[in-house]
Amino acid sequence: MDGVARSPEVDVYLAAVPEPQRAALHALRDSLQALQPEATELMSAGIPTLIHYGPLVGFGTNGTRCSLFVMQAKLLASMRSAITPPHTVSGATIHFPPDAPLPPALLERIVRDRSRENEAAHIRAAQRQAPKRR
């Protein structure tokens, strides 16, 4: 697969998830990786996470529902009107049933906005570390 290298640890995590959540998370993983092919994939805090200049998004399951961890409650709050039942929001996380995936336009907006946030933070950090000119 071009783009994101699949993490063996994430493969192990997903193999332990029961169906139909496993199929839903595999589809979500594929969508996220297609939206940000420059990201790397790893396990962080016990969940599969895409990294692009820092944590981008994570995904997982609580047993019956699937979750997309957006990492920024403020960003998610700004998208609240685009998140409709059966999808629900808790803090910086969207929960959804396996048979009701998140809309592609919403995923695209989340990944785009999170990528921009992380890239901007990376630039600010690099500028703070740059030697001062006299």
Give dist(CA 45, CA 61) in Å, integer: 13
Q: What is the pLDDT of residue 133?
A: 67
Domain range list for the chain: 8-129
Contacts of 66 (CB under 8 A, 6+ apart): 21, 24, 25, 28, 59, 60, 95, 96, 97, 98
Would you give per-residue pLDDT tens digits along the chain (134 residues)? 456 678 999 999 999 999 999 999 999 999 999 999 999 999 999 999 999 999 999 999 988 999 999 999 999 999 999 999 999 999 999 999 999 999 999 999 999 999 999 999 888 888 888 676 66
Q: What is the pLDDT of residue 114?
A: 96
Contacts of 85 (CB under 8 A, 6+ apart): none
- Residue 101 near residue 85 (C-beta atoms within 8 A): no
CATH architecture assigned to 8-129 = Alpha-Beta Complex (3.90)
